[in-house]
Amino acid sequence: MPRYKLILEYDGGGFVGWQRQANGYAVQQAVEEAIGAFSGEAVTLFGAGRTDAGVHALGQVAHFDLGRVFGGDKVRDAVNFHLRPNAIVVLGATAVPDDFDARVTATRRHYLYRIADQRPPLALRRGRAWHAHGPLDAAAMHAAAKHLLGKHDFTTFRAAKCQANSPIRTLDALDVERQPDGEVHVRARARSFLHHQVRSIVGSLHMVGLGKWNPQDLADALVARDRGRCGPVAPAEGLYLTAVDYPE
């Protein structure tokens, strides 16, 4: 049975998240229905990351199996045709070995969080960046972020209802930089993340950027392993799953 890998881009604002749910329309459901419409088969789509409601993707990866063989370009174009008018696009589709698993075989996930700390409201970026209180000291945020690098117990920075078996994660990269257009970007990279981990970290870094916390306060919050020590969780609309890495 042929297995296919998809690379997906989507605006998460109109969905209840990646995963199928009873309370609304999910990205997974929309793509499964589009695959079924062109192939005539009912499929189950497996994603590399279960993005929450409102979270976007520039490089989500998923896989599914079909009973018939199609070329990758055919799969991409046919799924995109049936996805309209949803804000989801298949950027690429390729046949992969049977042991490829979009979630299990992933070696690294990359996230971007966009913060706009300008005083005027957002227009074109509304729903695609966090319009946060500012001005923010991005250099102080970057310095504080270094306290979170490496292997730690991230209990402070995970959702209270996180279902992961362990709060231990290894954060390979966490960088904060102000962009030429004025936005503050937070980039994070790890093999896997806890539920709300990136948004929790960004919300706490925001406190540093405002001068309400210093870098040591962030380090102390991590060591406390106490959800109550986390800053306010940043909203979903600024978060993007940008890429997922796999073995060569």
Residues labelled catalytic: 52
Q: Rounded CA gap, 25 and 108, in Å?
A: 28
Pairing of strands 239-245, 56-65: parallel
Torsion from C-alpha of 220, 224, 230, 236, nearest 10 degrees: 110
Q: Which of 189, 179, 188, 199 is nearest to 136 (CA)?
A: 179
Element (DSSP H or E) covering residue 170: strand 168-178
Give Cβ neighbours of residue 22 (< 8 Å, ≥ 6 apart).
Answer: none
Q: CB-based contacts of 57: which residues, under 8 Å, 6+ apart?
A: 8, 9, 10, 12, 27, 49, 51, 240, 241, 242
Tracing tokens 């990758």 back to the chain, one arrives at 72
